[in-house]
Every structure is written in structure tokens, then in C-alpha cells.
Structure 1
Amino acid sequence: MKLVVVSAGLSVPSSTRLLADRLAAATAGQASAEVQVIELRDLAVEIAHTFTNGFPGQDLAAAFESVAGADGLIVVTPVFSASYSGLFKSFFDALSVTDEDALAGKPVLIAATGGTARHSLVLDHALRPLFAYLKAVVVPTGVYAASEDWGAEGLDGRTARAAGELAALMTGLSAASPAPRRDSFEEVVPFEQRLAALRPAG
């Protein structure tokens, strides 16, 4: 299975990437998934050009392909003005223009980082509606990390719970459905034969 992580952190290192890595490690450990991380800051120029020329660049197109082909997705954004960052939103806007069903039915874990716990509602007021609109399946537990959360026990608990929910969705969707038993279907009888059986004898 393939797990793709989209991180919109701008600094190096960033708390956004740190949270993304923690969530990825916790999920991959339970779903036995291969992890790919997409850093949006490296794609900022190509994202901007997509809106002016209508076509994604080579690296951005590869990122879109990875997201569309993932079995599960972790998305993490810093909070700007009580919402997701413009770079984060622009990436998914450009993705939906290229393929409006790229996230349809895809399990997604939403997460965000910020300087204060007061912005934790960004998960339910901004991120969850965005990915519901994109037809993704958002796991019940979102993860928000404020500055004071790093090293705190609560963050580890939320991370583990959210990762478990995403892993369960990923493994459930990828599990092969059992083949139907041959004897579960009625024998196929040609229409002419059925019609002949209804006619009176003689």
C-alpha cells in the first residue's frame, strides 16, 4: 500500500513537517504502507504557474499522480489567519482542476499546526469541509498541534488514534473481496427454453 503525506510547512525544519512525519510513522506501522512525502514549498512556483497557463509542471504533475494513486493521504498545514495556508489550498485547487475526482473515496487524515490552541477549530471549520467537498473520506480524528503540545501526552494519544483510523480505512479498502461462490447464482436458462416450458403440452 502507498501512503502519501502532503506537508505545507514553509520553514526548515518546520513543526508542520514534524507532525506530518509523526503521523506517517504511526500510520505506516499499522498499515504496512510505503510512505511518500510531498513538500509543497518545493512546488510553489509550479502551483502558481498552473493557474496562469492551465498546465502543471513536471514535478507538480508527478505530485498529483502520487496523490491520486495513494491508498491513503495525510495532509498537514500551518494555520494562517485562522485557516489553512494559501499554498495548501492552492495545491488542492490545482489538483481538482486537473482531476476533480482525484480524492473521491480516498481516506484522508487532516492535521494542522499553530502557535496557540485557540486555532484548533481549523480542523472542523476549514479542513474537514474542504476535503468533504473534494469527496474524500476524512477520518473522525483530526490532529492539531499548538506550540505547547509538543512533548505533551495528549498529542501522542491523538496521533495514535488518528493513525489507527486511517490505517483501518486503508487496509479495509485494499482488502480483496472474496470471490462469489459459483453456486450462489441461479443457473442461466435461455429465454426460448423458459418460454417453451410455459406453453401447454400438445
Structure 2
Amino acid sequence: MKIVIVTAGLTQPSSTRLLADRLTDAVTRQLEADVRVIELRDLAVDIANNFVTGFPNGRLREAIEAVTEADGLIAVTPIFSGSYSGLFKSFFDVIENTALAGKPVLIAATGGTARHSLALEHALRPLFAYLRAVVVPTAVYAAAEDWGGASDTFTDGLGPRIARAAEELAGLLRHRGPRAETKEEVVPFEEQLAALRPLS
């Protein structure tokens, strides 16, 4: 079982990565899995170059392959101006819109105030629905005050939300089983161009 964590935190350390780590720990307590973390901050220039050139470089291609070949995803973004970060959206824009079809995804976000928690429902969930992923019912939002350990009956605490979302993702992964390995022959771009040139 392969799980890939995509985190779009901009600082190091970041609350976004902290939330991603807590979600990962909760999921791996439910099932055994190989885990890989992709820090989008490290790929920001590569993603921008992909938009300009139309092609991913080696590092970005490897990250995209890790995401598309994973059995499940945990996707975590900071919330800016009431929505996901531009870096987060840009990364998923360079992935083929059918590549995540049927893939279980746990969505999560961090922000300074609980007022932005609905961004998970009006921004992240529709994004992954468009990509045809299967998003778990519980989305996890962590506001600044959640890190103090306090909880109340209205928010039900960060810990229980993490546990519930992790259980839902683990259940989907167990039901779906490991992704079948498929080998696809890749024709280098140079060969594809050569085939288009008229014969002299």
C-alpha cells in the first residue's frame, strides 16, 4: 500500500506539514503503508517552469508519478484569501485530469482562524471531485487555536477529527486494495518529434 502526502506549506517548519504528519500517523496506525511526503515548496520553480514549457522536468515528473501511482493521497494546504494556496492548485493543474480517478483522498487545511474552515467544502472538495478522486467524508481543518490542545463541543477537537478522517481513508484503502502495477511504454519526446518531421 502506497500513500503520498502532498503538503503546500511555505515555511519550515509549518503548521501545514505538522497537520500532514499527524494525519499520516493516524492513518498508518490503521494500516501498513509505504509513505512518501511531497513538499510543494521545494517544487515551486519546477511547477512554474512546467506552465511555461509545457513539460515537467525530472523532479516534478517524479512527484507527479508518485501521486498518480499512489493507492491513496493526503492533501494539505494552507488557506489564503478563503481558498487553497496558488502553489497547491498549480501542482494539481499540471496533473492529467483523469490521473486521480477513483483514488481515495483525505483533504485537510490550516489557517489562522476557524472562519476559513468552509474552504475545504467550497474549494478543495470540488477540486478533487473534478479530478474524479474519492474524497473521504471528514475533511480536517486546523485553525491556530487548535494547536493549543483545547477543544469544545462545537468543534469536537482536532484529535478526534484527525482520527475519524484517518479511519475513513484507511477503510477506503482496505476496501480498494493495493493499486495494480501497470507498465506503460513511454516514447521519448525526441522520438515523437522525429516521427512528425517530413522525410527528405
Whole-Å Cα distance in 2 between the matches of residues 152 and 109 of structure 1? 23
Aligned to 1:199: none
Matches within 5 A, 1:1-202: 1-96=1-96, 100-150=97-147, 151-153=149-151, 154-174=157-177
8 Å contact kept, 2:50–2:94: yes
| Deviation sequence 1:125-170 (CA, Å, 0-9, x none) | 0000000000000000000000001123410000000000000001
Identical aligned residues as a percent: 69
Superposed CA RMSD: 1.2
Counterpart AA for 1:115:
G
Counterpart AA for 1:82:
G
TM-score w.r.t. length of structure 1: 0.84
8 Å contact kept, 1:73–1:107: yes
Gaps of 5+ in 2: 152-156, 180-200
Whole-Å Cα distance in 1 between the matches of residues 10 and 18 of structure 2? 12
| Deviation sequence 1:53-104 (CA, Å, 0-9, x none) | 01001111000000011111000000000000000000000112xxx32110
8 Å contact kept, 1:109–1:138: yes
Whole-Å Cα distance in 2 between the matches of residues 171 and 61 of structure 1? 28
| Deviation sequence 1:161-184 (CA, Å, 0-9, x none) | 0000000001110079xxxxxxxx
Whole-Å Cα distance in 2 between the matches of residues 95 and 101 of structure 1? 8
- Aligned-partner SS, 2:4: strand
Gaps of 5+ in 1: 177-202
| Structure with the higher helix share, 1 or 2 | 1
Whole-Å Cα distance in 1 between the matches of residues 20 and 150 of structure 2? 17
TM-score w.r.t. length of structure 2: 0.85
Counterpart AA for 1:120:
S
Counterpart AA for 1:49:
N
8 Å contact kept, 1:110–1:142: yes
Counterpart AA for 1:145:
A
8 Å contact kept, 2:112–2:144: yes
- Aligned-partner SS, 2:84: coil
